Structure 1
Amino acid sequence: MCQVTETYHDDFEQNEIPSESKKCVKCKDVIAVVAIRAGDKYCRGCFELYFHHKFRATLGKNRVIFPGEKVLLAVSGGPSSSSMLRQVQEGLSQNAHKKLRFMPGIVYIDEGGALGQSLDERRQTVAKMDDIFKASGFPYHIVPLEQVLDLPSSVIMMAPSSQQQASSYKAYVDNFIRKNTCSCLTPEQKHETSLPFVQESQTEQLQQLINCFKTLTAKEDILSNLRQHLLVHTARCEGYSKLMLGDNCTRLACKLLVSISLGRGAQLAQDTSFSDSRYGDIVSVRPMRDYSAKEIAYYNHIFNVPSVFTPNLQTKNKEKSSIQRLTESFINKLQVDFPSTVSTIYRTSEKLQTASTSSSSANTCDRCLLCMCSLDTSVENASAFQATLISKCLSQTKSGGANSASSPRQNTGPTTRCCQGKEEHCETTLENRGCCSVIRAPDTTDVTSLLCYSCQLTTKDMSSVDRLPQYILSEAQIRQRRARMKEEISDFLLDD
């Protein structure tokens, strides 16, 4: 038995790890420098080949990007998007084994105005990004987030898609190679754009929009939607048909749990899939979705991939400051003890499908004004969502009934005659929806009814819905007028 007075040797003998286990699992000759998982150890050369092959295999397996297409890379300066830019550079180089056949461009969204950064800080960040983009040799565009306030209403409308079918991909590639049009993949004009001039009033208006949300969760959600709108608008204006995002496996795993927490269960398939065609003509792709954050960090460190740190709304905030921040911290801590956490959540997202009308075939009026997904509010009466609406209506009716009992009814709309005072034609007032009631503009813009369930929760945290950008409010008014007109002539329409 162990005794208190027993003495032990200070230096314990350690078993030497066999030299074979330190070698690369691919070539089995060179000492490994990277250990991605327990049994996956690669040397420098094999790890580079593995990383490049996974990127091209993801693009080739999905067959979404056709040869000769213009693809816009959304680069934020972070590790994932910077690594995506390097993969495209390697794929278009002369030494590439299987060259990529699309024409790339770069876009960077400067969000410093929404975060309260000074003009000097924003210029320093843009200067760093400008150096990286010039070294790539691709045309690039630097767009401030303030431009989202001046977008047209068409950005939240589905444009007709001109995407080819995946079944004709092989024939399209063979025809492309036969014509020998590889020389056109090198862009001739390089747009060297610095930070455009931004008025101080626009920056203040953007900050007021962000600050009108009470919680940090809602601020991050609306900022993500506005950023996506600006990316789609930039791609359309510059003639790009694909938008390449840098979402990696770890980020998509966090996004899946966050979306469930925010009530976006019906939109999970579009938010986490490889391709997203909710905008019709602009298809978003995620070629980095098979990479974990650990793999990307190793690759950027070993091969000196430049990246720029840009603060966001989560920077220097506590762990429980938002649902996004808490979910990210939870997954990262769980990943330390259980290395298969991220991959399990990610593989689950691949099996999800949307049960409702697909986002690509839904009518424009049946889409959310913010996220552009199909509305999930048209559900059965015996549902949790309808129960919530009934409770809300009952609470509002009770408070409204108390006020109406003590005060006479007040007219909220105009009381002029329907036919502009021509009583010989019609005696119906505009308030009662006469023959000319279509000219009556709505008193208030009801944006909530045109949003999905998750976006309704986001706007619920707003102090005033009128703070939303004008292109969203204008589209809401157009849809309301169209719905009111359809209701008035419903007796003369044929059923589907």
Structure 2
Amino acid sequence: MCQVEEEYNEHLETKPVLRVSRTCVKCKENTAVLIIRVGDAFCRNCFKEYFVHKFRAMLGKNRVIFPGEKVLLAVSGGPASSSMLAQVQEGLSRDAPKRLRFTPGIIYIDEGGACGQSAEEREKAVVQLEDIFRKTGFPYFVVSLEQVFSLPDSVLEPVYGGPEGSDLSYKAAVDQYIQQNKVKQRAQDSAIREAHEAIDRHSVQSQCSPDHRLALERLFSSLKTLTAKEDMLQTLRQHVILHTARMKGYAKVMMGDSCTRLAVKLLSNISLGRGAALAADTGFSDPRYGDVVIVRPMRDYSSKEIAFYNMLFGVQSIFIPGLDTKVPDKASIQRLTESFVIKLQADFPSTVSTIYRTSEKLHTSCPQLNTTEPTAKCLLCLCALDTKADEASAFNATQLSERLSERKAQRDSSSSNLTVNSSSSCGREGGCASDGCCSTLRAAVSTDLKSLLCYSCRLTIKDMTEVDTLPRYITSEAEKRQRRAQMKQEISEFLLQDEDEAEEE
């Protein structure tokens, strides 16, 4: 029975509706349209000035990009990279008070083959992104992920650049740029852009062959976990961007990693065993490749700020499904970490900023580079190897357990092969050679490959069922390094040692 007319109903109170009627904290005049953090309410114009100033200040404070340099913008179509593209486009306009002085280009890596997208979905995404790229007037490159199987062997060769430019060299470069004839420079830049636009517009169909598509599908199907797939996708994407930047003459590559994304990446990389490479993976600049430097100018922006800016000023972004789309939170380490940080940020708004400020204090501790013998780098991520530990370390104990397990597995497989015909087991005419079965050879190749990898990349390779599915340039570089190591071991008795090395021995 309804009791609305009862007397106790008069004591019920209506919950007040909260309304935001605050003035802007900067101009103190206009009404605020958004609140970034508690106490930070901005109007539309002041928020745009705040957003643009943060981008210019990040580039001006670090002084990594020199005037006249060619910078490649890695755009994935998401909100962060699209906002980065809009900031560069606005900074290069004639009305900009502090005009940017570099020459930009755009690259988009089509990852649909690794994410299970159809050809129609991939073509639709490329067409939408090309419409955005044409409006900017910058040269752009659309490269499919399948191109990793046609990359040359020189991609993983270490390129050691000189020391980073000092403040004096940066100021000299600025003065030289200002003294140049601006009208002539603009005409030259426009001619270069037109030439790039006429030549460098590639479609997905013209770049990837059916063999490469099957090879990419086989590679990602050999990875057992989603964690390993996401890590491998990140590695291959970086290799394609690195090769394109070198071929097109770009010295810097801008990535659209936001503050929220870097906070998630910091915690997930710690869980993946990449603690030694945190400074390079989350810092503003990443000089691990030598001649090409990775720059992250969006690392001061939270995902909330980027979403507000794109909504207020009409920055177009495109959603493209990835490997972690519509998967549960516990599907991978990266996805679980992202869910943890986002949920914690909702209850404690300072979570992302605290993690981000912690990442700013990290530095890579590595030995000094020697001109005769450079520091060994990982075969996949090209970071310094972190596998040289003490004999009593947990890493060496883990390695010992893995070696004992592999020996036991090899003995079990050899004993089982005694009862099976060798010619029928491997499919070769006359059977295998005298050095063992094919599976034993593949295990030996995998063991040799692990010796060239850092701890995190070893875990990724460990989750692979078929190491032969890796691109050819990776296996070729592994064979080259193994031959050099074997040759060095053979002639080690005839080499002269330094005084410091002799004292240590």
Q: Deviations over 1:114-173 (max 9, x none)?
A: 222222211111100000000011111111111111111211122232565132212321
Question: SS where residue 100 of structure 2 aligns?
Answer: coil
Separation of aligned partners in 1, 2:130 and 2:491: 56
> What does residue 325 of structure 2 align with?
315
> What does residue 481 of structure 1 align with?
483
Unaligned 5+ segments in structure 2 are 1-5, 419-432, 437-442, 499-505
Question: SS where residue 330 of structure 2 aligns?
Answer: coil
> What does residue 422 of structure 2 align with?
none
8 Å contact from structure 1 (residues 235, 243) kept in 2:
yes
1:44-443 matches, within 5 Å, as 44-161=44-161, 164-167=164-167, 168-181=169-182, 184=185, 186-188=189-191, 189-190=193-194, 191-192=196-197, 193-196=201-204, 197=206, 198-357=208-367, 366-398=376-408, 412=435
Separation of aligned partners in 1, 2:411 and 2:471: 34
Provide TM-score, normalisation by structure 2: 0.86
> What does residue 497 of structure 2 align with?
495
Question: SS where residue 450 of structure 1 aligns?
Answer: coil
Unaligned 5+ segments in structure 1 are 414-441
Moved more, 391-400 or 371-380: 391-400
Q: Deviations over 1:445-473 (max 9, x none)?
A: 62111000000000000001111100000
Question: SS where residue 329 of structure 2 aligns?
Answer: coil
8 Å contact from structure 1 (residues 158, 281) kept in 2:
no
Please say if 1:467 is aligned against 2:475.
no
8 Å contact from structure 1 (residues 362, 374) kept in 2:
no
Q: CA deviation at 1:397?
A: 4.1
Q: CA deviation at 1:270?
A: 0.5
| 1:361–1:254 distance in 2 versus 1, CA, 3 Å | farther
Separation of aligned partners in 2, 1:139 and 1:6: 72
8 Å contact from structure 2 (residues 375, 384) kept in 1:
no
| 1:458–1:132 distance in 2 versus 1, CA, 3 Å | same
| 1:259–1:13 distance in 2 versus 1, CA, 3 Å | closer
Q: CA deviation at 1:338?
A: 0.1
Moved more, 5-14 or 452-461: 5-14
Separation of aligned partners in 2, 1:327 and 1:399: 34
Provide TM-score, normalisation by structure 1: 0.87
- Amino acid in the other structure paired with 1:412: D
Q: Deviations over 1:310-351 (max 9, x none)?
A: 110001111111111111011000000000000000110111
Separation of aligned partners in 2, 1:405 and 1:335: 55
Separation of aligned partners in 2, 1:115 and 1:17: 43
Moved more, 163-172 or 307-316: 163-172
8 Å contact from structure 2 (residues 113, 213) kept in 1:
yes
Separation of aligned partners in 1, 2:110 and 2:469: 21
| 1:41–1:315 distance in 2 versus 1, CA, 3 Å | same
| 1:15–1:248 distance in 2 versus 1, CA, 3 Å | closer
- Amino acid in the other structure paired with 1:115: C
The size of the alignment, in residue pairs, is 462
Moved more, 24-33 or 197-206: 197-206
Separation of aligned partners in 1, 2:240 and 2:321: 19
Separation of aligned partners in 1, 2:184 and 2:133: 21
8 Å contact from structure 1 (residues 157, 279) kept in 2:
no
Question: SS where residue 475 of structure 1 aligns?
Answer: helix
8 Å contact from structure 1 (residues 71, 102) kept in 2:
yes
Question: SS where residue 109 of structure 1 aligns?
Answer: strand
- Amino acid in the other structure paired with 2:27: C
| 1:359–1:122 distance in 2 versus 1, CA, 3 Å | farther
Separation of aligned partners in 1, 2:156 and 2:278: 19
- Amino acid in the other structure paired with 2:358: T
Question: SS where residue 366 of structure 1 aligns?
Answer: coil
| 1:78–1:183 distance in 2 versus 1, CA, 3 Å | farther
Separation of aligned partners in 2, 1:17 and 1:108: 42
Q: CA deviation at 1:8?
A: 3.7
8 Å contact from structure 1 (residues 217, 322) kept in 2:
yes
Residue identity (%) = 57
Q: CA deviation at 1:238?
A: 0.5
Residue 450 of structure 2, aligned match among 444, 448, 451:
448
Q: CA deviation at 1:355?
A: 2.2
Separation of aligned partners in 2, 1:480 and 1:182: 54
| 1:411–1:342 distance in 2 versus 1, CA, 3 Å | same
More helix by share: 2
| 1:474–1:16 distance in 2 versus 1, CA, 3 Å | closer
Question: SS where residue 356 of structure 1 aligns?
Answer: coil
- Amino acid in the other structure paired with 1:308: I
Q: Deviations over 1:157-199 (max 9, x none)?
A: 2223256513221232123212345753644233341414122
Separation of aligned partners in 1, 2:72 and 2:368: 25
8 Å contact from structure 2 (residues 222, 464) kept in 1:
yes
Separation of aligned partners in 2, 1:47 and 1:335: 22
